[in-house]
Structure 1
């Protein structure tokens, strides 16, 4: 089986992107893939879109974190971005994590979470072996051009990215796919089988969209205790 190149766009604050990213990590254990981790900002993605003021503020609060990823990419490359995503995402979405505690509290709790984010990012940078000084990118809008450039790499044809979200995945350069959105992290051959099915759709030029009509389950962003 030949190796597949997976481009994976993520916003570290999104629990659904986190679950899908951990699935991709599991896929890498059972299928030959190489992953390019690419930053994507929900704030940038929703520029000019209609949304509630509360949601707009929530996504804007996360913009600074994506700047740190852009700075990490310039400093140390793709592998470092993936390592930072793992380190920070675990702190966000793991058991008792920062966003796990605030997710149901609305804007007030989200603001409080973001106010306490700097030391969390600093610890994640240390875990990923990255310079502590990259934290300064969080408040530097000079990195926003790099974030827009990352968005522009999504193969989107004439849609101009109007239909994508996080996560977005491109397989071997084919059109970017929003999703798959899954509610838990498959492991082992379960992860591999889901990849096999997704890969067929993601590389089929005639495929456009697939949606499930039932309610979406709550996101389980970390494995259940045995």
Structure 2
């Protein structure tokens, strides 16, 4: 069994602390800063042995060096971004498998937000860590890639079982949902979800993780039927001020 703990860091990032209860191994996904991560692990009596990075951005890797120095953890990072993640020990790409105890995660290359972005998919556990590729009701900005690449990513993610839990890296759901209502004004599922999201945020509660099934119903980027539609939605969201 995987025990997954959400750790808020910086202004709106989430770091995921993942513990295998059988092997007693622990890893952390995208530690943007170290102190909250180390404190969360210590509070649970867990020892971090690995850091898994989805991409090079500092709000995902900024805590690597300090966590590594404190714990001896090895950093697993995308091979395509090795030059930008100097703390990396093991470089991985499409089709590679990384493990936490007996739990195996396949590496998916999902370029777009950054050129070498990856995701970690635990197929048997129905869990995926998507970094800044798929968000609740949104997707990542195209800083280093194309709409065609992101559309390909969405097509891959659509094929996952709907019960797959999606652990993304930011609390963007409310702003994403405001745009989603504009992109699909007749989508009742979006309206209903936003009522829940607004209540949760008003109470100071997190809105992630999410699921592939929920995103299939309410995420205008995952629902885009062509790369051209996704590109138009991405440009509109980038300019959206609602």
What TM-score range do you get, normalising by the shorter chain? under 0.3
Greater fraction of residues in strand: 2
Greater fraction of residues in helix: 1
* Structure-2-length-normalised TM-score: 0.25
* Structure-1-length-normalised TM-score: 0.26
